[in-house]
Structure 1
């Protein structure tokens, strides 16, 4: 091989790049001090732009297609090199291939919650996350502002900056949208479409654009979600007064099936029923005013009207007893003794007279102790 052939073999005559990384934005063609032959073939594929740098200065930009490097199709570089009259000598230049396709595997999310003023819930903290696509729209600006002389500029080198800028924009965008918190999910798409051009405008000075911006989810703190779940359950219950009455009826039925239950269970049952009724009254006061109070199961008889004439002879107390959900009476002490013999009056039977504030178990009324003790003893076993 002659000297001329050796020198000719060191000249670059084919310049091209095929991307196999899927995350490379800028790739510098490896020249290794070899000179580019005048008349060499430059292949720029779709979604690529080739940028020539001569002595640190941007010279020429080539769009997709096949180019033969000659002085007539490199006007800027020809002026810089001072070629005259079509002089075709080898030259040295750095060639950067810029990927102009969309990079769609970009993610974003809010590390800290965003505080919004909601018309229904007041101050609310929310989080959001999603995805976006990025592409190069001005290769020279990208090289000047971000890539520089990096031989392989990847998406990871600019992704963090893009996320920070997006988070700064998303907070103001959600605040300006003035959409109620419960309706944000329905407006996620429209908010993303409004943000995409705003982000592209911010990135125009870097030669980048955001063609697509997606809000995948907007979430609330766990405690707020739990409160919303409770509110949803309350809405599903409907009339809380009717619900409390239904719960009280179920509790009474359960107590009837378990007559030997302890006093603690009865106390807890009463407190539960009272709490349900108080909640219903607090949450629906107007409805409570419209409804009439439910009649008591064992209502005491009305007092007899006063009769003219001499006062009546003193009489014994009139007693009433509750047996199997029915009110029996009135009875005097003799009549109560007969009810003991009949098995209708036991220490657990509810009794009432005018001096008692409410129905009370017979075993808890001291003056009925003689009556209850008058019951005959059980028969001896045969």
Structure 2
């Protein structure tokens, strides 16, 4: 037998007598202990440090699990592995088994976000799209389950790999949770803390099924299209303001804009005409007793017929009567979604409150009106 064969034979009997893992990274979750031919010496020392768990796998089957401490590997400390291998009277020869060290420390500040917009149904604004992102923290709570269900035979499993799995789970459960929460869209930004706690409660069982504990879950921001933001702000302002005062304010602004119109003689004349009409409307609203009639003329001046009084409409809002408002104001309220096609309205002469869509002169709000056919010759 040559010298090379002697050295090879000697090395083949040098088995591992200390099993340990010193983590020199910040992102490794699972590390498989490597050794020659997977053989471990009888009576070897197993060192499991704080923040670690050691898991023994025999031929793909979960065996013994060790928490922090120092152990002498024998049939007493390896009861499951001893049963799997059939050691009835102890073992004296080296044995083969895969040893995985699992990092059980808390992994913090992990990022999550929705890859695509989430479509929600809001009773005020219809279908809307939102995006969300934030952070979460987790730790491995059941090392054996985690290795069997997630890691498999990966020899060096990192936080990046588990995050790819968890982010998909988070996005799905987040979508389900916000969809079932039925929170008005304008309140999302003000309720991120409560929504975060609810999402954590919903997601925790899903994490637990693969041996992971979701320690913290934070929603940092819920974003939406700029057009929707502006619409929400406008709605919020209208909801807080007195509608009658708002109508007077907008009428005054329209008069001011008409006065500044510099689009030529024709434009100026049109602007003046609109200004006079709006001024009459404003005067009628500010002084209902005038009934929309012009001030009396001097006896010498020709007296024109009185301007027909505008029809005033009452409408129902949040179970209360509002108004009266003129036709144009009612149309503006419809355009701003303060009222809709099913809102009950009433004017003088109507027998009862009627849905807006069923009042003939208000059907023009709904769009799609067509003239009647021309008479035949």
Task: Tell whether the structures are fold-level matches, with TM greater than 0.5.
Answer: yes
Q: Which residue is equivalent to 2:150?
A: 146
User: Residue by residue, what CA displacement relative to the aligned partner does 1:62-98 show, whole Å, maximum 9, x if unpaired?
Assistant: 0111222233222222333444555433222211011
Q: CA deviation at 1:188?
A: 1.7
| Contact 1:199–1:209 (8 Å) recurs in 2 | no
Matched, 1:222 2:226: yes
Further displaced range: 262-271 or 197-206: 262-271
Equivalents in 1 of 2:289, 2:221: separation in Å? 45
Equivalent residues of 1:15, 1:41 under 8 A apart: yes
What number of residue pairs does the alignment pair up?
299
Correspondence for 2:135: 131
Name the counterpart of 1:263.
265
Q: Describe the shift of the 1:276–1:138 C-alpha distance in structure 2 as closer, same or farther (beyond 3 A).
A: farther
The corresponding residue for 1:301 is 297
Q: 1:66 aligns with which of 63, 70, 92?
A: 70
Tell me how far 1:109 sits from its aligned partner.
2.1
* Change beyond 3 A, Cα 1:271–1:148: farther
Distance in 1 between the 2:229 and 2:52 partners? 48
Contact 1:24–1:153 (CA under 8 A) maintained in structure 2: yes
Residues 1:126 and 1:274: Cα distance change in structure 2 (over 3 Å): farther
Question: 2-side partners of 1:138 and 1:98: how far apart?
Answer: 10
Which residue number corresponds to residue 241 of structure 1? 248
Contact 2:56–2:64 (CA under 8 A) maintained in structure 1: yes
How does the TM-score come out when normalised to structure 1?
0.64
Task: Assess, with a 3 A threshold, how the Cα gap between structure 1 residues 64 and 292 changes in structure 2: closer, same or farther.
Answer: farther
Q: Is 1:183 matched with 2:180? A: no
SS at match of 1:302: coil
Contact kept? 2:42, 2:91, Cα under 8 Å? no
Instruction: Find out whether 1:159 has 2:155 as its counterpart.
Output: no
User: How far apart in 2 are the matches of 1:118 and 1:209?
Assistant: 33
Q: Looking at CA atoms only, which structure, 1 or 2, has the larger radius of gyration?
A: 1
RMSD, aligned α-carbons:
4.0
Q: 1:243 to 1:226 in 2, by over 3 A?
A: closer
Deviation at 1:209, TM superposition (A): 2.8
Q: Residues 241 and 97 from structure 1, CA distance in 2 versus in 1: closer, same or farther, beyond 3 angstroms?
A: same
Structure 1 pair 179–271 and aligned structure 2 pair: CA distance change class (3 A): farther
Aligned to 2:333: none
Change (3 A) 1:62 1:246: closer
Instruction: State whether residues 10 and 35 of structure 1, in contact with CA within 8 Å, keep that contact through their aligned partners in structure 2.
Output: no
